[in-house]
Amino acid sequence: MLSFPGIKIMHFLPGRVRLKVEKIKNDITFAKKVETELLNTLCITGVEINVLTGSVLVKYDKCAIKDTKNSNHLLVTLKKLFPDLDTEKLRPYLDE
C-alpha cells in the first residue's frame, strides 16, 4: 500500500479505504474538519474517524468515483486537507 508523510493507506477495497493519519491523532478539531470536508465531497457516502488511533475510514460510491469530475473533486479536497499529499499517486486507486 501507499505511504505518504504522515499518512498511510492501511487497507483498500473498491468502495472503502482505511487511512492512518498522524495529524488526526488526538486532534478532535482537525478530525471534525476532515469529516466535514470529506462528507461534502462528491461520491463520499460515509466517514468514520478514530482520534485515538488516527484511523480514517472513507466509504465512497465505487462507480461514481470513476467519473473524472467526481474523482477530481475528491483529490482537490484531499489536497486541501493534506497539502503534502501527492494526490496523483491516488488516482489509479480510484479507477479500480
> Between 96 and 35, where is the model more confident?
35
**Mean pLDDT, rounded, of the chain:** 90
CA–CA dist 2, 90 (Å, integer): 8
CA–CA dist 5, 85 (Å, integer): 8
Using one digit for the tens of pLDDT, what is the confidence trace for 45-86? 999 999 999 999 999 998 998 899 999 999 999 889 988 888
Output the CA torsion sign for 65, 70, 74, 76. Answer: positive
Query: Looking at residue 62, what is its pLDDT?
Result: 87
Let me know how many helices (H) and strands (E) the chain has, helices first.
3, 5
Q: Cell 491523532, residue? A: 25
Strand intervals (E) in 5-94: 7-13, 16-21, 44-50, 55-60
The structural domains of the chain, ordered by start, are: 3-84 (3.30.70.100)
Residue 14 contacts residue 96 (beta carbons within 8 Å): yes
Is the pLDDT at 1 greater than 70? The verdict is no
Residue 84 contacts residue 96 (beta carbons within 8 Å): no
Is the pLDDT at 93 greater than 90? The verdict is no
